[in-house]
Structures are given as C-alpha cells and as structure tokens.
Structure 1
C-alpha cells in the first residue's frame, strides 16, 4: 500500500490519477446490478402495499359473507334517560318503557372521629356489616388501628360487599360505607363496631341511604331490577337507565340493523376502490422510469385484477338480486365501484333477504362475497400467488447481492493488478530516466573535452 503514495514519482507520470480513473471505470460494472437490485426491492415494497390493500378488501368481503349481518337487529330509543342495545336473541318490536325510579346503592356513615391519627381498636376488634337481604359480614381489624387503617382493611376484603371512604364533614371524620352493587338487597343497612376504644363510635342512622331497586313498566308489565342495567326484561335487549330517566316514558324500537348492513356495503366499495387506486399507482406508465409505477406490466397484478374482475362481473344466480347494479353499485370506466346510496336504501328496506342471498348465499362460497373471499384467500394464502411473487423478488435480491459482492472482489483484484503493473512501469521509467541522465552527462563531458 506504500507504493500508492509514491506511484509516479519515478516516472513523473500521474499514475495515481490514472489508477483512480481505471477503478471508477471498473466500478461502472456494479451500476447495472445496483439498479436491478433497487428495482426488485421497490417491487417487494409495492407487493407489500398491495397485500395491505387486499387484506383490507378481504376484511370487508368477510363481513358481507357473514349471514348474521343480515339478521342482526338494532335497538333505538325515542325519549330521554334510556339507552338500549339488541343482541342476536332479540325480536323486532316496539316497547313503551316508563321508569318510576332508578336503582341505587345503599350507603351509611359512622359517627364522628375528631382525631384522624387516633387509635380506635382493641384486640379482636371487628366491624360487622348487615345488608338489605338480611345477610351479614364481619371484617376483622388489627389492634390500635386508625380510621384510615380501618378503611383500608375493609377495602382489602373482597367479600365485604362495600367500598369504604373517609369524609370530613367540617366537625370531624366519618367512615362511609357504600354498597358495591345497587339494589335493595345489596344495600348496607347497619354496621356494628366491636372491641373499639371509643364506645360512642357507631352507625349514624341519620346518614343512611337505603339501597333500592329500579322500578319500570314495559308495555304495562311492572319490572323490578337490582341494577340500572336491565337485561332481558325485553328478550335480547339490554336497557341502561340514568338518573334523568325517573318519571319519564320512552319508546324502544327493535328492528333490522339496516345501518350496519349499509355501512358494510359502503366499506366493501371503499376498500375495493382503495385497492384499485393502489394498483393504479403501481402500474402507472409515465414514459419516465423515475415516475413510472413499480409494477408496470407485472403478471401477478394482472392475474389478481383479472380474477377479481371476473368474480365481480359474473351473475349470482338463484336470487332476486343477480347483479351489483340491482342494489345500486356500478362499475365506472376507470374500473372503480360507485355506490348509489338511495338505491341501496331501497333494496335494504324492500328485500333484505335478497341482499343476504346475493352476498352470502346459502354456503360459505355461494354468494358474491363468498366467491370473492375464496379468490382472495387463494391470492393471500401463505403459498398464494402474491407470496410466491414476493419470495421470487427476495430471491433475486439475494442473488444480486451475491453477484455485487463477487463483482466487487474482481474489480479490486483488477485494480491491484493495475497497481502492480504501474509500479513496474514506474520503476522501469525511473531506471531509463537515470540512464538517460547519465548518458547525457557523459556526452556533455566529451563535448567539453573536444572543445578544449
């Protein structure tokens, strides 16, 4: 390596510069490999974006292929203070709900303790709780416990049935117990202090708020609920009451969940168009390699588009709806889907079963969604066409990287050979220059003698 810095000194030629030019020229052999590798890596990235778009479309298709979508019911409420949800067990109908009172948890406070740091318990102390259904529970307390420690012990007992807190009413501190559950039976009704140093500490009856059940009337039938979440008073429907519901009447309507069905169709159209836009960008022909799509003319993309177009265009025979156009979906000249929401609303309102037959059919692959789901499954499968294309490009990238490394080694060997040859040339020219200088000197001496 020391010869590099001295290269050309003997001959006076710029051999180092010439060697650099030769190295640059040799490294041009790497450029086609780099460009090809960049192209393959861009294809892999494009395949990944395509897979994301197809995954999203597959999710939308799967939703339309689920028969429960077409039988699902929704619950709506006309009125205040009540919300409702319907499950698969619900049946369509209209229900008038009048709320007399909402459910409430019971609570009870103790008499005051003036010193929050004072110890209140002797040995074997406990606090005994009584509830609305007559049940009791005893919480054992440590000796010399403060009010805060008593609170914490109660809260650490999973079977206590109450939450404990401390309230400062301005004159002292009170232990307040609130039932964990609403309802008359679960409400706290009494607490008894055993083996306390302060004999005056007891439940303050004036602070008691009894637990109570929710009372409501549904279509003339009286209903009692221990909770403000009223389940299955209307089969398959859950009613949720808030405080503002008391004394009010609301109408609960259970009907086909047309909004979810419409939303699912809209997601299908949107996901397909998004996927088509992705493909459009990847296959754009611009005449400029810098701006053209990464998958121009790609056989994998053409195959996927062809299969999906075939599925979308074929009839779904046997039902009242056989084509997308009958439910308000049309294909634009650009290959996108366009949704006429008014026509879709009419189709859902007039014949929802026809939509179920068209999209879901009577088996997993019978309807349009089933057909598309089968195709997408083949495309996106672990050994499907998209995964094979990705694997193929990744294999080419690996081989190109190996080729790059081998070519780079050959280039360095060539440059080393040039360096050795230039070194030999430099030495030979240096020797010739030395001989030339010697002969010139000798000739000059001879001429001088002749002149003399």
Structure 2
C-alpha cells in the first residue's frame, strides 16, 4: 500500500497511521488462505516422501521376482591349475581337474636382417599367411619400398590377419616375428610366403619357432581337449580358465546368500515404508503436533492394499503359500518381523521352493509379482498417490486464485478509505481555518469593544 505523506496535515489527525491499521486488518484476512496453501504444499512434500519409500519397496520387491536369485552357485578351488565360475545351469558337485598341457599360439620368425632400413620390396606385393586351419589364411598387401617395420605395420593394420607381428633384435640383427592371435593346433602358422614378397633372398629362411597346441586336461578322469585355455563347455554351467599344468579340485555349491540378502532388503524396505507412513500420519498428544498426512485416505488405501497382499496366501501354488512358512510374519504394528533361523532353514533345505513362493511360475504369479502389480497401480499417474498429489495441487491453484481476488478487494477498499480520509482531511482543514478566522474576528471585536468603553469615560 502506497501511503500519502500529506494525509492528516490539514486536520492534524494521524490519518496515515489509521489507514495503515485498516490495511493491516484487511490483510489479516489473507492469513487463513496462506496457511491453507502452505498446508497443501506440506502435504505434497509428504506425498513425495511417501512415494520415495514406495519406490524403494518396489525395487526390493522386483529383485525378489528374479528366479536366478535363488539359483546362485558358489565355487571354491584347491590347487593353482584352474580358476572357475559357475552360473545357474551348473550342477552342485565336486570336480577333480588335471591339466596336462595348456593351449598355446603358433609362432614363426624370419631370417635375420642386418638393418631396419633395409628395403625388402621394390614393387607392390602380397604376403600370404597360411595356417593349419585354412579358414584363417589371409593375403596382406605390402607396399613397394617397405622395410621390416613397414611389413610389421601392414600386417597389424589388417583386421583379417590372424597374427600379431613384431620386430625382434636377436643381438646380431632384426627378425620379423609372427604369433597367432588364437591358440590351438588349428592356429599353427605354417608358412608366410616371404620369398614371393621379398625382392631378394633376404627373407627366404623362415623358422617355425612354435607350433600351436591344444590344451589337454581331464575332468573326473574324462579326457578333454580345447583350442583355448578358456573352456566353457567341459562342465555344464561352469567356465574354466586353465592357468597352469597340475591338479585342482573344484567344488560347486548352492549359494543362498544372494536370496537371503534380497529378502532382508525386502523386509527393511517395507518396514521403512511403514515407518514413513506412520510418522506422516501420527499425532503427538504431548505437544499437539499432527503428522502432515494424518487421516489421509491415500495413505489408508496404500497400507490396506499392501497389508492384504502380504497377509493373503498364494492360492493354488505348490510349496510355500504364506510368508510365515518361511519365517516372515506381520506384527501387530503392521511391520514385518523375521525369524532368521526359520528362513535360513527354508533356504538351506529348498531354495527353489522359496524362489517359487516369491517369483512363482512366471513374473505375475508369486508374492513378489503380486506386490509389484499393486505397487505399480499405487504409483501410476492415476493411482491413489498421484491422485492425492493432483488434488492438493488443484486446491493450491484454487486457493491462489482466491488469494489474488481478496488482495484485489483489499486494495479497492484501502483506495476507498484513502479517498474518504483525503476528503475528511480537507473538510477538517477548512473547518480549522474557519474556526481560526472566527476566533481572530471575535478577538478583534472584543478588543474594539473594550477600547471604546475607556475612551467614553
């Protein structure tokens, strides 16, 4: 409100102060609306907190809906001959592995060249790489004027060349060494046809330094041969990495730890959701403080639907049908309580049955699938939570419009008061002037009358 500095000067009244008091009194009518807007904003923030807890519970629920969680296997190895990792297709058991030979790559080296500057080719030519496995054969283009290093670079630049080339100084000169990228006997490099490529006889002498060989090992006495030291098909579901010749024993066991951790996370996430809802709907009688969502219907809907899903059994499913059968119970306060010994026993005895209870025959039939569907509905744009948020936002918008309209009415009223006060000030100023004039005239008249009496004596 813009004050009028001259208001009250004519009348001598504190009209500005009175106008300020009227303005403050009118503005106080806006406070309830502002408080209502703030209440709705606090509710929206509380809904956001509840949504975060719901989303965290859904993440934990979806993790339990993965069948692989209950099929985890662990491996332990004695001996240094192999390393191993098992997946869900492996069968628990003990495997004795004896590695006789490791798979190696084939390699050859050329005759010695005295200088790295020696030009090997005067014309464009090709280098023919020939392998025991003809599918690996490749012809590499060599440019005219190439040195030993240029040939090396041309071979390494060809993506189809199944060798890695390098230049080696043997102390008396330089040789071009080629090693197969693959291991195994099929990767043996038989010839390089350097004679056809070179312009003279400098590279005609090629020595096979090492023939490629397959790995040879036994698994529980059964002979196995592999072109690679990484073997994925010798033991179903087990990836072997042959490290050295020697003996190793591999033990594959059921690992219930991932499932146990997933169930622990599930219980913790639900109890955190329950705590969040309880705090937002609580009433503290000692200080009269109420939770932001006390009495809120959306919270009641969420709690009711989740409690129903957790409490109802899996009709028609074999094996476990209720949470309490695996050591998880709904307490009186609505939280989940865990009997660790009972859950550990259920997982140790039959982890697949626990998995079937949570994940079911497909993603929708187990408890986790049922909960996930409910949570998706609750978190959907048209679900209970988003509907409550939309309702609060609509109320804020409506209250905001009401606030603006009332502000406009207040400004109109204050402007009317200013006009009236200005008129009052002008009228009072005129009355004061008239009063002063009359007082002056009466004073002069009294003086004249008094003076005339004395002269008459």
TM-score bracket, shorter-length normalisation: 0.7 to 0.9
What is the Cα deviation at residue 304 of structure 1? 1.8
d(CA) in 1 for partners of 2:169, 2:16: 91
Q: 1:44 to 1:202 in 2, by over 3 A?
A: farther
Q: 1:197 to 1:431 in 2, by over 3 A?
A: farther
What is the Cα deviation at residue 445 of structure 1? 3.7
d(CA) in 1 for partners of 2:234, 2:423: 103
d(CA) in 2 for partners of 1:247, 1:145: 46
SS in 2 for 1:6: coil
Gaps of 5+ in 1: none
Report what 1:26 is aligned to: 26
d(CA) in 1 for partners of 2:328, 2:15: 74
TM-score by length of 2: 0.79
Report what 2:454 is aligned to: none
Aligned residue pair count: 446
8 A Cα contact 2:43 2:293, kept in partner: yes
d(CA) in 2 for partners of 1:132, 1:230: 21
SS in 2 for 1:338: strand
Report what 2:283 is aligned to: 285
d(CA) in 2 for partners of 1:333, 1:276: 12
d(CA) in 2 for partners of 1:198, 1:10: 123
Superposed CA deviations along residues 359-392 of structure 1, whole A, max 9, x for unmatched, are: 3445655543344334334323332222222222
What is the Cα deviation at residue 342 of structure 1? 2.5
What is the Cα deviation at residue 209 of structure 1? 6.4
Mapping 1:298-317, distance limit 5 Å: 298-316=296-314
SS in 2 for 1:295: coil
Q: 1:112 to 1:437 in 2, by over 3 A?
A: farther
d(CA) in 1 for partners of 2:180, 2:411: 83
What is the Cα deviation at residue 130 of structure 1? 4.7
d(CA) in 2 for partners of 1:340, 1:53: 24
d(CA) in 2 for partners of 1:12, 1:149: 107
Superposed CA deviations along residues 34-54 of structure 1, whole A, max 9, x for unmatched, are: 222222222222222222222
Larger Rg computed on CA atoms: 2
Q: 1:274 to 1:225 in 2, by over 3 A?
A: farther
Report what 2:381 is aligned to: 382
8 A Cα contact 2:113 2:202, kept in partner: no
Q: 1:185 to 1:325 in 2, by over 3 A?
A: same
Mapping 1:292-371, distance limit 5 Å: 292-316=290-314, 319-362=318-361, 366-371=365-370
Superposed CA deviations along residues 202-230 of structure 1, whole A, max 9, x for unmatched, are: 99969x66655433321222223333331
Mapping 1:4-403, distance limit 5 Å: 4-67=4-67, 69-70=69-70, 72-81=71-80, 82-104=82-104, 124=124, 129-131=129-131, 133=133, 135-140=136-141, 156-162=157-163, 179-186=180-187, 192=194, 212-241=213-242, 243=243, 245-253=244-252, 255-287=253-285, 292-316=290-314, 319-362=318-361, 366-403=365-402
SS in 1 for 2:295: coil
Q: 1:281 to 1:120 in 2, by over 3 A?
A: farther
Mapping 1:398-417, distance limit 5 Å: 398-417=397-416
Query: Which range is displaced more, 357-366 or 161-170?
Result: 161-170
SS in 2 for 1:248: strand
Q: 1:349 to 1:11 in 2, by over 3 A?
A: same
d(CA) in 2 for partners of 1:294, 1:345: 40
Superposed CA deviations along residues 166-211 of structure 1, whole A, max 9, x for unmatched, are: 88999999877665444444466766498789986899969x6665
d(CA) in 2 for partners of 1:314, 1:149: 75
d(CA) in 1 for partners of 2:419, 2:116: 98
Gaps of 5+ in 2: 452-457
Superposed CA deviations along residues 111-141 of structure 1, whole A, max 9, x for unmatched, are: 689779x998766266554555354334435
Report what 1:421 is aligned to: 420
Q: 1:189 to 1:410 in 2, by over 3 A?
A: farther
Q: 1:388 to 1:101 in 2, by over 3 A?
A: farther
8 A Cα contact 1:97 1:252, kept in partner: no
SS in 1 for 2:4: helix
TM-score by length of 1: 0.79
